[in-house]
Amino acid sequence: MSTQDETKKKTAANSGGLSRRNFLGATGAAAAVVTTEALSGRSAYANVPEAPIQTSPSMQPPLFPKEGPEYQPVVTLNSWTLPWRMKDGWKEFHLVAEPVVRELSPGMKGHLWGYNGQSPGPTLEAVEGDKVRIFVTNRLPEHTTIHWHGFILPNGMDGVGGLNQPQIKPGQTFVYEFVLTRSGTFMYHPHADEMVQMAMGMMGMFVVHPKDPSFMRVDRDFLFMLNAFDIVPGTYVPKINTMTDFNLWCWNSRVFPGIDHIVCRKDDRVRIRFGNLTMTNHPIHMHGYHFEVTCTDGGWTRPEARWPEVTVDCAVGQMRAFEFDAVNLGDWAIHCHKSHHTMNAMGHDVKTYIGVDKRDITRKIRTLVDGYMPMGTAGMADMGEMEMPLPDNTLPMMTGFGQFGPIEMGGMFSVVKVREGLDRNDYKDPGWYQHPPGTVSYEWKGESLAEAPRTEQAPSGVPTQIEVQAVKPTHGSGHSGH
d(CA 67, CA 337): 41
Is 344's pLDDT higher than 60? yes
Mean pLDDT for the stretch of residues 186-215: 96
Q: Do 53 and 98 meet the contact criterion of CB atoms below 8 Å apart?
A: no
Q: Would you say 135 and 173 are in contact if contact means Cβ atoms under 8 Å apart?
A: yes
- What does the pLDDT read at residue 253? 96
DSSP state of 315: -
Least confident of 78-82, 278-282, 383-387: 383-387
pLDDT band for position 72 (50/70/90)? very high
Alpha-helical regions (H) of 164-262: 194-199
Instruction: For 426-475, write each residue's pLDDT tens digit.
Output: 999 999 999 999 999 999 999 888 887 877 777 777 766 666 566 776 66
Q: Is the pLDDT of residue 27 over 80?
A: no
Distance CA 443, CA 465 (A): 44
Work out the pLDDT band at 268, boundaries 50, 70, 90: very high
Point out which residues pair with 276 in neighbouring strands.
Answer: 226
Question: Do the first three CATH levels of 3-215 and 262-419 match, i.e. the same topology?
Answer: yes
Confidence (pLDDT) at 384: 47
Nearest to 413 by CA among 230, 245, 259, 309: 259
pLDDT by residue (tens digit) across 88-123?
Answer: 999 999 999 999 999 999 999 999 999 999 999 999
The counts of H helices and E strands in the chain are 4, 25
Q: Where are the domains of the chain?
A: 3-215, 262-419
Which value, in Å, is the radius of gyration of the alpha carbons in the chain?
Answer: 27
Q: What is the CATH number of domain 262-419?
A: 2.60.40
Q: What is the pLDDT of residues 230-254, one digit of tens each?
A: 998 889 999 999 888 888 999 999 9
Q: What is the pLDDT of residue 459?
A: 76
- CATH fold of 3-215 reads Immunoglobulin-like (2.60.40)
Read off the pLDDT band of 24 (50, 70, 90).
Answer: very low
CB atoms within 10 A of CB 346: 17
N-term to C-term CA, the chain: 91
| Higher pLDDT pick, 35 / 307 | 307
Which among 175, 103, 107 is positioned nearest to 138, based on CA atoms? 175
Contacts of 124 (CB under 8 A, 6+ apart): 81, 82, 84, 93, 132, 134, 188, 204, 205, 206, 207
Give CA torsion, residues 93, 253, 153, 4, to 10 deg: -10
Which tops the pLDDT comparison, 263 or 341?
A: 263
